[in-house]
Chain A
Amino acid sequence: MSLSTFRLFVPFSELLAAIVGTIYFYKYKHTHLKYFLYILWYIVLTEFTGWYAAEYSFLVFFDEEGRLYNLWMYNLMYTIFFPVVLTIYLKSINNSVYKKWIKLFIFFYILISILNWSFIQSFKYEWSELPDVAGSLFLAISVIFYFIELLRSDKVIIYHRKLLFWISIGLLIFHVGTIPFNIEITHYALQKSIHNLFLILWILALIMYLIFTFGFIWSKKED
């Protein structure tokens, strides 16, 4: 199987997760988790528009050497993705100290994004590794907060039937797993051979979306 074929699995796993999430929407539509479904559909939209844009040179940018860039769509997606997901954790956690920290994370993520795109990186031509690394770390810590709160709760919580638990696992695996990738890509993004590395990214993404899909099916209706 060639790399480019494998690449196709990712958008379709996203689509699968979004569709399954919509089917089981009744389980969590009354909670803040509904925003997760919205963001999932937004990811699908970005992915397919990005693909279409690259194919038909639609809404894309070219550099001096004539190379095509649709990165701004993905950069925009991540800039929206992290604050929304962090907000879901903010709303799902009760501990006031953790809440304060997550609020700080959201603030700093937005600050880092603004500084990055204004002074350091180009929104059109570069992969958003710096905000991504920051966002992933913030997300990982928020997930840990959520886990700690689950552990500390004196209620009997069937955690493996909770949707946010599976979402957390998926997010942890992909976003923390790709931190090394994101750090390295800064220097080698444009070198052809580095493309093999995208395979790691795609495998982790595939795992994440399959975990989301499983979570939507397996989870019980939220109270």
Chain B
Amino acid sequence: MEQSGITTVILITTLTVVLLIVVIIVIFSIFQKRKVKFLFEQKETKQRFEEEIIKAQLETQEQTFQNISWELHDNVGQLLSVAKMQLNMLQPEVPKGQKSILDETGEIISKSLQEIRTLSKLLNPETVRNMGLEEAIQLEIDRFNRLNFIRATFTIKGESVTLNQKDEIILFRILQEFLSNSLKHSKASKLDVTLTYSKAYLIIKAQDFGIGFDEKTVKNGSGLLNMKSRAKLINTELKLKSEKDKGVLLTLTYPLTKENE
């Protein structure tokens, strides 16, 4: 074979080989892109599924709360009312010396009735929805103050904005859970709740000044995880900061400008 002939043959084979490699790389890229797309879709589906589960859980919880609320209002409330009426009927027949005890008992029953009505209101999603977030929080804070061992304050800063009712309930439930935990475990004597409305966010801060907890040892209790997943559902950032003997601070950052209603 002639030299130039060989040169051409080698040139053509080399070009073919290089072209083949380029084709392989292109095919590889296409497949890889498809795979990544598929993986993303899979992840999205999973996320949507998890969201649905949380939503269903929330709905069940609200339903349960509503039932308890009705039960408290219609059943226990009615019984207490009847008890009070009967006490009143007893009033004229009681000797003077025991009258004060009777009056005290009547007052205790009245207070119980009031507590149960407040509790019933705060548990019932319908009434919370009608009251709005601020009033519901105020009611809860008042209830705490009536317990006489904790001094709770509630402050609103900035101009109030009407929120989505469903989101309001979720925010309120998260706050409620935090407050009842504080009440149970923190041994705090002081509790502050602040709502701050800014242009883009509603920031809810709740701080107790109790014994707190060590962030390292109590990292992810089911309660905290539960709160977090619920916050995530409404695009809210949840932060829980605590130091031993310094209390706990909960911060919820809820975006006011939202595209998904």
Contact = CB atoms under 8 A, between A and B. Distances in A.
A206 to B, nearest CB: 13
A178 B7 contact: no
A197 B7 contact: yes
A176 B17 contact: yes
Interface in A167-221: 169, 172-173, 176-181, 184, 188, 191, 193-194, 196-197, 200, 204
Interface in A153-178: 154-157, 159-160, 169, 172-173, 176-178
A147 B28 contact: yes
Contacts of B18: 173, 176-177, 204
A173 B7 CA distance: 19
Contacts of A204: 14, 18
Contacts of A23: none
A158 to B, nearest CB: 8
B61 interface: no
B10 A151 contact: no
21 contacts: A147-B24, A150-B28, A151-B28, A156-B39, A157-B32, A159-B32, A173-B21, A176-B21, A177-B14, A177-B18, A177-B21, A179-B17, A180-B9, A180-B17, A181-B10, A184-B9, A188-B3, A194-B6, A194-B7, A197-B7, A204-B18
Contacts of B32: 150-151, 157, 159
Nearest to A187: B6
A180 B40 contact: no
A172 B10 contact: no
A184 B39 contact: no
A184 B14 CA distance: 11
B161 interface: no
Interface of B: 3-4, 6-7, 9-11, 13-14, 17-18, 21, 24-25, 28-29, 31-32, 35-36, 39-40
B24 to A, nearest CB: 8
In terms of DSSP, what is the predominant structure of the interface of chain B? helix
B14 A200 contact: yes
Nearest to A179: B17
Contacts of A184: 6, 9-10
A18 B14 CA distance: 26
A197 B10 contact: yes
Main secondary structure on chain A at its contact with chain B?
helix
A176 B14 CA distance: 8
Contact of B31 (A151, A177, A188): A151
Given A191-B3, A197-B7, A156 B14 contact: no
A12 to B, nearest CB: 22
B21 A151 contact: no
Contacts of A150: 28, 32
A176 B13 CA distance: 11
B128 to A, nearest CB: 42
Interface pairs A-B: 4 shortest CB-CB? A180-B13, A193-B3, A177-B18, A172-B21
Nearest to B12: A180
Given A147-B28, A177-B14, A194 B3 contact: yes
Contacts of B39: 154-156
Contacts of A157: 32
Contacts of B40: 156
A204 B10 CA distance: 13
A169 B21 CA distance: 8
B7 A151 contact: no
Contact of A200 (B4, B10, B25): B10
Contact of B17 (A155, A177, A196, A197): A177
B157 to A, nearest CB: 43
Contacts of B9: 180, 184
A191 B1 CA distance: 13
B178 to A, nearest CB: 36
Contacts of B28: 147, 150-151
Contacts of A193: 3-4, 7
A188 B10 CA distance: 12
Contacts of B13: 180
Contacts of B11: 197, 200
